[in-house]
Amino acid sequence: MKKKEIRPKRTRRKELQYQQLAAHANCRAPVVVHLSNGTRLQGVVLATDNYILLLGRQADDSQPTLVYKQAIALVTPATAPGAAAVPDVPEIPDPAAAPGFVPIYIPRTRKRR
């Protein structure tokens, strides 16, 4: 008979994610949710489950935003010192200053396999 290997129990990533989002939901502090497509959403975490996150503008929001956890890249507190350091959308230069410039918006997309 082979002996069974005993490995130390590791904390899974989903457990850490659940703990972090539960802490945000309990304290009702404003957060910034960075999505994988580059969008930033600001609000208060109202509730979470295994697949979704409800984000409201205030704690008593009647129409919260539903965000799939799969689309979330990062969740930071809105009052974090590094929150203001995140670069905003770059400014579009004045077309009159550069006559040959045509502003084109190309959204970032995930690479398809």
For residue 42, list its beta bridge partners.
32
Mind listing the pLDDT tens digit for each residue in 72-101? Answer: 999 999 886 654 444 444 454 454 554 555
In which band, very low, low, confident or very high, does the pLDDT at 108 lie, cut at 50, 70 and 90? low
Q: What's the mean per-residue pLDDT of the chain? A: 77
Domain of residue 29: give its range: 13-77
Task: Note whether residue 25 is domain-resident.
Answer: yes
* Within-domain flag for 73: yes
70 in a structural domain: yes
Q: Is the pTM of this model over 0.85?
A: no
| CA pseudo-torsion sign 19, 22, 26, 29 | positive
- What span, in angstroms and rounded, lies between the C-alpha atoms of 27 and 18? 14
Q: Which residue is listed with tokens 């770059």? A: 90
Any idea what the CATH number is for the domain that residue 43 is in? 2.30.30.100
Domain count, the chain: 1
Using alpha carbons, select from 33, 38, 32 the residue that is nearest to residue 106.
Answer: 38
Residue 110 domain flag: no
Residue 51 lies in a domain: yes
With bands split at pLDDT 50, 70 and 90, how would you rate the model's confidence at 110?
confident
